[in-house]
Every structure is written in structure tokens, then in C-alpha cells.
């Protein structure tokens, strides 16, 4: 999603709460839409963003006395993993407090259906902030393979019960 695309995306009843739009490359970028009934604060993370390597944006909001930080991230399949991990750590250092519920969602292009070094590296980083991947089923399926490169990361110790199920939309 480049800058022109960002300015043309509108959803009735929602506000673009935070976004990172690409300038030099097509496709990619991140945006968080917030329902108009919710009050939120944009967290400016633009200093950490680098096209293809680490694209991110975030908001803070309070729902029923629960303080929540929602971070969305994107890393291109050709993105620099070390840059991604270093800057994700910097973002988490910036926002983390024990009382804050952090939810990270995004396309990180690391397959969570297979054990691999990239998965171990991001899992180890996120565990320092008590965050765990919660999507364990394939999100992309074709005739020859399946992958889970899109994920959500949360502190599951704070949840009594939750269920993640795929929404099949063909």
C-alpha cells in the first residue's frame, strides 16, 4: 500500500487510527482501523519503519478498564530479519508495561507450521515480553503446500480461555 493507496481507503464507521504507507515500493504497508465509537491514541513508530524490512504502526485504547496496545507489523519475504527483530524489540521496549495488554498482528513471512531458525528467533524475542503466537493453523493453502505466515501474538497467561479458528472464505 503506497501513500496514494492509503489516502483512498475509507471504511464507513471506522477511522484510520495509525498507518505506515510505502513511498518507494508497491504492495505492503500497514494500517489499523478503529471503530468510530472507540477513543484511541496513535503511537508514532515511523522512526522504526523501513520499507520491506519492518513496517509497523500502533494504537493504545482502553476498553472496559483494560489498557490495550495493538501493534500491526509487516515484513516482506525479502526483508532483513535482523533489522526486523532489532526494531520489533525497540518498539516493544517503548510500549511495554506490565499492566498493558499487547496484541501484535501481522504478516511476518515466517511459517509457523514448520520449525525453523527464524521462528525460534522471533519466539525468543517475544517471550521476553510474555508474548506467544496464537495461530497454529494454515492461513494460506494451495494444491501443494500450506503455511501460517500471518499471526497474532498475545500474553496468553492473562486470558482465561480463547479459541482461534480459521474463517474459510475460498
Every domain of the chain and the residues it spans = 3-158
Residues 146 and 10: their CA atoms lie apart, in Å, by 32
pTM of the model: 0.90
pLDDT tier, 3 (very low <50, low <70, confident <90, very high otherwise): very low
- Grid cell in block for residue 139: 492461513
Q: Which residue has the higher pLDDT, 30 or 148?
A: 30
Distance CA 87, CA 117 (A): 18
Mean pLDDT, rounded, for 13-24: 91
pLDDT in tens, 143-156: 887 777 888 999 98
Predicted confidence at residue 7, as pLDDT, reads 61
Query: For residue 53, what pLDDT is reported?
Result: 96
Distance between CA atoms of residues 157 and 161, nearest Å: 10
129 contacts 139 by C-beta, under 8 angstroms:
no
Task: Evaluate if residue 126 carries a pLDDT over 90.
Answer: yes
Check residue 159 and give its pLDDT.
74
Q: pLDDT tens digit string along 35-65?
A: 999 999 999 999 999 999 999 999 999 999 8
Percent of the chain at pLDDT exceeding 70: 93
68-94 pLDDT, tens digit each: 999 999 999 999 999 999 999 999 999
Domain 3-158 has CATH 3.60.10.10: yes
Amino acid at each position: 500500500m503506497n501513500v496514494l493507496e492509503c489516502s483512498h481507503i475509507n471504511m464507513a464507521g471506522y477511522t484510520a487510527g495509525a498507518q505506515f504507507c510505502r513511498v518507494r515500493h508497491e504492495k505492503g504497508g500497514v494500517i489499523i482501523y478503529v471503530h468510530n465509537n472507540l477513543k484511541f491514541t496513535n503511537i508514532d513508530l515511523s522512526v522504526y519503519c523501513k520499507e520491506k524490512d519492518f513496517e509497523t504502526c500502533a494504537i493504545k485504547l482502553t476498553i472496559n478498564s483494560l489498557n490495550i496496545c495493538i501493534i500491526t507489523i509487516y515484513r516482506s519475504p525479502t526483508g532483513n530479519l535482523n533489522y526486523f527483530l532489532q526494531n520489533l524489540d525497540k518498539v516493544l521496549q517503548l510500549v511495554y508495561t506490565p499492566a498493558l495488554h499487547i496484541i501484535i498482528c501481522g504478516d511476518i513471512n515466517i511459517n509457523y507450521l514448520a520449525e525453523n531458525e527464524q521462528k525460534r528467533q522471533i519466539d525468543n524475542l517475544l517471550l521476553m515480553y510474555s508474548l506467544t503466537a496464537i495461530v497454529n493453523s494454515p492461513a494460506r493453502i494451495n494444491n501443494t503446500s500450506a503455511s501460517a505466515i500471518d499471526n497474532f501474538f498475545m500474553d496468553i497467561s492473562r486470558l482465561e480461555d480463547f479459541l482461534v479458528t480459521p474463517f474459510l472464505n475460498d
